Structure 1
Amino acid sequence: MATEDARYRQSSQYRLWSFTPSHLATLREKTNTLARTHISNRLRASDPPVDPLPNFLTPEEEYMILNHFTLELLRAAPYCQLPTDIQATAAIFLRRFYLTNSVMTYPPQELIKTCIFFGCKAEGYFIRVQKIADIFPNTTGEMILAAEYVLCQGIRFAFDVRHPFRALEGTVMELRRLGNFDDDRINRAHKRTRDILKFSPLVTDAYFHYTPSQIMYAALAIADEELVQRMLQEAFAGQNEEAKAKVWSVIRTCKEMLEKEPPEKMTSYWTDPESNKAIKALRRKLAKCRDPDRVDLVALQKARREEAAQKPKPKIASDADEKVFGNGTGEGRESKRRKVAPEAVDPFGPPL
């Protein structure tokens, strides 16, 4: 029987969306460089040409804007009355998309709406697109759907997102079974951990670096580290302490990442004058260096459809059917029949 770890290693999340920190940084640098090159060429070729070119966003500035719009998504999703898993899936779709696409190329304020809608579809939760459009001002269903295929391409058609919420519920049940802690303490840790998981991993790179269970244990360690140590003691009973120390080291590293983005930031972010000032400056800078060909995704989708409709259809030879099915006399079929052994040999073998 395959272990849980073996099953996770077969998932698209592990195969396509797991990176080391250095690899992740390299990908973001590459995405930023390619976007700057393409946008520069388009601005120079525009009528009239743009000269001088604007100051482009750096990878660090793109990451700050991505975090801002991830927060915007998490703030808007509850108004759709969506389950926690769907909100988390939508946020991960957004962060995956902007790993290989620049915020200067595709407008994030449009993509967050598409991510929410497509997150519902990916999780099997069916909702009318107009219901989501009504939440956002000046938004139509057509605008949400315009970026759907672009989003699918950007996330490499990997719609499966593994979250740490189910791992948390299993761990809480196990802690209650062990009986070393009273229910009130476990309940407090459970609530705090769930609050952390609904925010901190979604606005960091935790999903790119760690497994769902590692993320869950890291969040639980923030809430109550002794509970995690008890679970590790149970899991590694009678085994080498070195293996236990190695696992705890990974959990501690993930814990440090999550602590940089506590769930309280969800409410304080919008009232912090410094963060508001910084993001306003970045959005003004973004407005000056956006890809002119992809500002209007609805118009871009229409242009692509018209281009596809104008392409000549490939001609089919008149005798194509005859080559496959014959000309009605049976000649074609006879020539395609599989050769069998001579009649003297029974195709099913000799008698028993």
Structure 2
Amino acid sequence: MATTHAAPKSDDDLYRQGSQYRIWSFSRADLLEIRRSINQNAAERLQHEHQITRADSEYKIEYLSVQDEYDMLLHYCVKVQDAATVYKLPSHIKATAIQYLKRFYLKYSLMEFHPRNIMYTCLFLATKSENHFISIENFVQPLQRVSKQAIIDLEFIVAQALSFTLLVHHAFNPIHGYFLDLQSIFPNKINEIGSAHDQARKYANDSLFSDAAFLYTPPQIALAALMMANEKLIDEYMEAKFGANVYLLKQLKATNVKIKEYIIEGPKAKISKERALALERKLFICRNPEKAKKRTTGGEGSMTDDSSAEPAAKRVKSELISDSDIAMAGA
């Protein structure tokens, strides 16, 4: 009796069987709805708390919009990248930390946990999950006003928000896989392939500052990055690999075009210093309306304790920078 063998599974097939795809992949519409719902619920909770605690209900509070939260989140993703450079961390650790931060804010609003109070914990957690050991003492050494206890106190909260899915797949490994496959198919184009590989890694880095990882698989992002690096080479590669399947080839090319749009948007994630400051101030006010009002009206009161804006179950004692350090800097 003849034995039949199933076709080997591709990296894309294997990825779709894992927890990262199951928990952290969305349609564009679903992703927008998640953010809208989190934003609305957080604003309503804060509004309810302020109505209970405020003596004067006439003070108008403007809460962050969905777009405000997204802009501020990407701003802090850039800060994670800058911090990773200080620690001289490899690309995949930086990418993991950024993805942790973005995933955390699919469970919570920035109005609940300030990203400045989360980003360092995400980075420290990424060094551990990626087996790049840095002691907590050495990690906090270059940071100002951040204690090791502040990071430790937030670790479980972050891990819980991530559904304990600490392994993160990125486009960097598939890019290397394509790099090897390209060499086997086009042995006379080694230099061209090497150049495309290096450029594609830069495009994969740009994709970190978009929603690409929530909408597409790492192999899809990797192929699109390579296509952006050398479209002629990748067209020839896809023809050689998938030319017999016209429908699949057409689908791959269409997906590449869609992902390219996200990768192009990545470098635009940086917002101006003025916009960042305005968002910090707006966030401070919606979390601390009484303090902001006292400052505006010349009343007395401490501007350093921000814990009152968070529900008791979410308060974390720490020495992290308070909202007022940046939010009130330009006042």
Q: Give me the TM-score of the superposition, normalised by structure 1.
A: 0.77
CA distance in structure 1 between the partners assigned to 2:215 and 2:143 by the alignment? 32
Partner of 2:233: 227
- Deviation string 1:37-93 (CA, Å, 9 cap, x unpaired) is 111112222264664241001001100000000000001112112221111100000
Partner of 2:135: 128
Pairwise CA RMSD: 2.4
Partner of 1:12: 19
CA distance in structure 1 between the partners assigned to 2:223 and 2:258 by the alignment? 11
2:12–2:219 CA contact under 8 A, matched in 1: no
Q: Output aligned runs, 1:157-176, within 5 Å.
A: 157-176=164-183
Read off the aligned partner of 2:239 and give its amino acid letter. Answer: Q
CA distance in structure 1 between the partners assigned to 2:97 and 2:81 by the alignment? 9
CA distance in structure 2 between the partners assigned to 1:48 and 1:5 by the alignment? 57
Considering Cα pairs closer than 8 Å and 6+ residues apart, tell me whether 1 or 2 has the greater RCO: 2
**2:161 paired with 1:154:** yes
1:172–1:190 CA contact under 8 A, matched in 2: yes
1:80–1:131 CA contact under 8 A, matched in 2: no
2:124–2:139 CA contact under 8 A, matched in 1: yes
CA distance in structure 2 between the partners assigned to 1:230 and 1:104 by the alignment? 49
Read off the aligned partner of 1:203 and give its amino acid letter. Answer: F
Q: 1:62 aligns with which of 62, 69, 81?
A: 69
Partner of 1:215: 221
Partner of 1:287: 284
Q: Does the residue aligned with 1:100 lie in a helix, a strand or coil?
A: coil
Partner of 2:78: 71
Deviation at 1:132, TM superposition (A): 2.0
1:35–1:102 CA contact under 8 A, matched in 2: yes
Partner of 1:313: none
CA distance in structure 2 between the partners assigned to 1:16 and 1:299 by the alignment? 23
1:86–1:120 CA contact under 8 A, matched in 2: yes
1:114–1:147 CA contact under 8 A, matched in 2: yes
Read off the aligned partner of 2:274 and give its amino acid letter. Answer: K
Read off the aligned partner of 1:154 and give its amino acid letter. Answer: A
Deviation at 1:164, TM superposition (A): 1.1
CA distance in structure 1 between the partners assigned to 2:57 and 2:139 by the alignment? 37
1:143–1:297 CA contact under 8 A, matched in 2: no
Q: 1:242 aligns with which of 238, 243, 247?
A: 247
Change in CA separation of 1:298 and 1:147 when aligned onto 2, cut-off 3 Å? farther
Q: 2:89 aligns with which of 71, 82, 90?
A: 82
Change in CA separation of 1:107 and 1:164 when aligned onto 2, cut-off 3 Å? same
Q: Does the residue aligned with 1:106 lie in a helix, a strand or coil?
A: coil
User: Greater Rg, structure 1 or structure 2?
Assistant: 1
Partner of 2:35: 28
Q: 2:50 aligns with which of 40, 43, 61?
A: 43
Read off the aligned partner of 2:33 and give its amino acid letter. Answer: T
CA distance in structure 1 between the partners assigned to 2:236 and 2:150 by the alignment? 50
Residue ranges of structure 1 left out of the alignment (5+ in a row): 304-352
1:43–1:49 CA contact under 8 A, matched in 2: no
Q: 1:116 aligns with which of 105, 120, 123?
A: 123
Read off the aligned partner of 2:210 and give its amino acid letter. Answer: T
Partner of 1:93: 100
Aligned length: 293
Partner of 2:211: 205
Residue ranges of structure 2 left out of the alignment (5+ in a row): 1-5, 289-306, 319-331
Q: Give me the TM-score of the superposition, normalised by structure 2.
A: 0.82
Partner of 1:256: 261
Identical-residue share of aligned pairs (%): 29
